């Protein structure tokens, strides 16, 4: 992974990007850039605009405001732009009645690859993705994880300059996720820029150089991962698993509590530096028996998001 330098020319640059949908959803006034070899994480809860932003960057949606420049070209329909993008959208859409190999072959040819090169690269990518045994199976018989792997194969086959991936680790098993991380790291070393929308804080911390936090369609924070993590360094994340709901007001009222949020049956609390987590239990005062489990761990990007918005990122891997 490369550090961001001013001298590098951005492969992709968005300025004041807006796409508004009825009901107030969308993305608003987003400005970002993506440099060669950089891995950029787009993080935010469901409905924060990650997928919309990725679709705009992928030329799959048209902005209602602002501008995007791909490789210095602002025409999204220019085939020379699209040929250099590798895209994995949120829906792993395929021609279900065709085999995995037939699908990959078709998409590879759309990007101008010849028969020989396609065969060679697909053989390697099917081996890498673990889909070799299922290559002649119809996609309708694939599991969700297999379909997403096939999407990755299709996004990588033409060796794009920019990879745009929506939740790439979703539905992947441990081994496949590890392979994906290694692949992305290798690609970034060779100059491929990657933008990935994810809720997986571990994936983001491991491979992203920079992260953009999205909340209600707007960028609320952007920065290098180590720089962002220093903002929560020293504080602690306490997770309380509950048998029954409890009010958060009393917890939030504690001066040591920087943020608190409930997701499903778990309360996430970010405690200030030097606070004893037992103080949280003390404030529950008589309701502590409702806590079935308590976990204290080092803070991560998810805790910073919680601190900034009061909203927890959904757990990527329960």
Partner 1 sequence: MMLAGTIWQRELVEFAQRRRALVIKLGFPLLVALPLVISGAPTIYAAMALTMLITIVGALGSGAVLTRERQSGLTLRYRTLPVTPGRLLIERLSTSALIDFFQLTPVLLVVAVRHPSAFVWWPALLLSVAAVLLIGNLLGAVASTLSDSPGEVMLYVIIPLLPLLYLSGVFTPLEPPILLVVSRLLPFSYLYEALLGALGGQPNLLPWETVLGGFGFLVGAIGLTGRFGRRVLESD
Q: Please give the residue ranges that form the binding site for partner 1 (CB under 8 A).
A: 55, 58-62, 77, 79-83, 85, 87, 89-99, 101-102, 105-107, 109-112, 115, 118, 136
CB of 87 to partner 1, least distance (A): 5
CB of 188 to partner 1, least distance (A): 21
- Residue pair 108/122 in contact (Cβ under 8 Å)? The answer is yes
CB nearer to partner 1: pick between 53 and 240: 53
CB nearer to partner 1: pick between 14 and 225: 14
CB nearer to partner 1: pick between 78 and 182: 78
Direct distance between the N- and C-terminal alpha carbons of the chain, in angstroms, rounded to an integer:
28
Helix axes 144-156, 115-129, angle to 10 degrees: 140
CB of 65 to partner 1, least distance (A): 16
CB of 150 to partner 1, least distance (A): 12
Helix axes 115-129, 174-189, angle to 10 degrees: 130
Quote the radius of gyration of the chain (alpha carbons, Å). 21
Interatomic CA distance for residues 41 and 44, integer angstroms: 10
CB of 257 to partner 1, least distance (A): 42
CB nearer to partner 1: pick between 107 and 126: 107
CB nearer to partner 1: pick between 96 and 265: 96
Interatomic CA distance for residues 107 and 15, integer angstroms: 30
CB of 113 to partner 1, least distance (A): 9
User: How far, CA to CA in Å, does 96 sit from each of 92, 114, 147, 268, 294?
Assistant: 11, 24, 10, 41, 45
CB nearer to partner 1: pick between 108 and 211: 108
């Amino acid at each position: 992974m490369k550090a961001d330098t001013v001298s590098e020319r951005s492969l992709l640059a968005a300025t004041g990007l807006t796409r508004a949908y009825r009901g107030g959803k969308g993305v608003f006034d987003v400005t970002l850039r993506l440099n060669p070899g950089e891995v950029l994480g787009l993080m935010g809860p469901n409905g924060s605009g990650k997928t919309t932003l990725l679709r705009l960057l992928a030329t799959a949606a048209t902005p209602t405001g602002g501008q995007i420049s791909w490789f210095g070209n602002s025409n999204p329909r220019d085939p020379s732009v699209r040929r250099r993008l590798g895209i994995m959208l949120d829906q792993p859409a395929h021609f279900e009645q065709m085999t995995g190999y037939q699908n990959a072959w078709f998409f590879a040819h759309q990007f101008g690859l010849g028969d020989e090169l396609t065969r060679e690269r697909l053989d390697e990518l099917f081996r890498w993705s673990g889909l070799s045994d299922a290559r002649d199976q119809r996609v309708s018989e694939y599991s969700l994880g297999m379909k997403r792997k096939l999407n990755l194969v299709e996004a990588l086959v033409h060796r794009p300059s920019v990879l745009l991936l929506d939740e790439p680790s979703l539905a992947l098993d441990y081994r496949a996720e590890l392979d994906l991380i290694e692949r992305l790291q290798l690609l970034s070393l060779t100059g491929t820029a990657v933008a990935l929308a994810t809720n997986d804080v571990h994936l983001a911390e491991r491979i992203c150089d920079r992260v953009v936090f999205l909340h209600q369609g707007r960028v609320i924070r952007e920065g290098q991962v180590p720089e962002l993590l220093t903002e929560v360094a020293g504080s602690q994340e306490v997770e309380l698993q509950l048998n029954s709901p409890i009010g958060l007001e009393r917890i939030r009222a504690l001066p040591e509590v920087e943020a608190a949020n409930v997701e499903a049956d778990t309360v996430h609390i970010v405690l200030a530096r030097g606070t004893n987590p037992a103080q949280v239990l003390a404030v529950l005062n008589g309701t502590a028996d409702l806590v079935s489990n308590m976990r204290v761990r080092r803070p991560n990007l998810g805790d910073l998001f919680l601190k900034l918005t009061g909203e927890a990122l959904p757990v990527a891997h329960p």
